[in-house]
Amino acid sequence: METLVETELCFPQLLNSSCVRTKRPHFEIMLTYFILSCISVLTAFLNLLVIISISHFKQLHTPTNLLILSLAVSDFFVGLLMLFQTMLIDGCWFLGDLMCSLVQYMAYIITTASVGTMVLISIDRYVAICDPLHYSIRVTQKRVQVCVCLCWSCSVIFDSLLLKDNLKQPGRYHSCFGECIVVVNPISKVVDFTVSFILPITVIVVLYMGVFVVAVSQARAMRSHITTVTVQGSRKVTAKKSELKAARTLGVVVVMFLICFCPYHCVSLAGQETLINDSSVAFVIGLAYFNSCLNPLIYAFFYPWFRKSVKLIVSLKILQADSCEINTM
- In the chain, the amino acid numbered 75 is D
Check residue 47 and give its pLDDT.
92
Secondary structure of the chain in the HEC alphabet? CHHHHHCCECCCCCCCCECECCCCCHHHHHHHHHHHHHHHHHHHHHHHHHHHHHHHCHHHCCHHHHHHHHHHHHHHHHHHHHHHHHHHCCCCCCCHHHHHHHHHHHHHHHHHHHHHHHHHHHHHHHHHHHCHHHHHHHCCHHHHHHHHHHHHHHHHHHHHHHCHHHHHCCCCCCCCECCCEECCCHHHHHHHHHHHHHHHHHHHHHHHHHHHHHHHHHHHHHHCCCCCEEECCCEEECCCHHHHHHHHHHHHHHHHHHHHHHHHHHHHHCCCCEECCCHHHHHHHHHHHHHHHHHHHHHHHHCHHHHHHHHHHHCCHHHCCCHHHCCCC
Check residue 29 and give its pLDDT.
76
- CB atoms closer than 10 angstroms to residue 13: 7
Check residue 1 and give its pLDDT.
42
Residues 6 or more apart whose CB falls under 8 angstroms from that of 79 comprise 40, 41, 42, 43, 44, 45, 47, 292, 293
Question: Which domains, from first to last, does the chain contain?
Answer: 27-325 (1.20.1070.10)
Check residue 158 and give its pLDDT.
93
Contact between residue 86 and residue 37 where contact means Cβ atoms under 8 Å apart: yes
pTM for this one?
A: 0.82
- In the chain, the amino acid numbered 160 is S
Mean pLDDT per 10-residue segment, the chain (329 residues): 56 78 76 83 91 90 91 91 78 84 90 90 87 86 94 94 87 81 82 86 86 73 54 45 68 80 70 47 72 83 85 86 78
Check residue 242 and give its pLDDT.
64
Check residue 219 and give its pLDDT.
63
d(CA 241, CA 215): 10
Residue 230's DSSP bridge partners are 236
Contact between residue 166 and residue 182 where contact means Cβ atoms under 8 Å apart: yes
- In the chain, the amino acid numbered 241 is K
Contact between residue 326 and residue 77 where contact means Cβ atoms under 8 Å apart: no
- In the chain, the amino acid numbered 181 is I
Contact between residue 125 and residue 251 where contact means Cβ atoms under 8 Å apart: yes
* CA nearest to 180, candidates 68, 96, 69: 96
Contact between residue 293 and residue 46 where contact means Cβ atoms under 8 Å apart: yes
d(CA 13, CA 11): 5
d(CA 238, CA 131): 9
Check residue 143 and give its pLDDT.
93
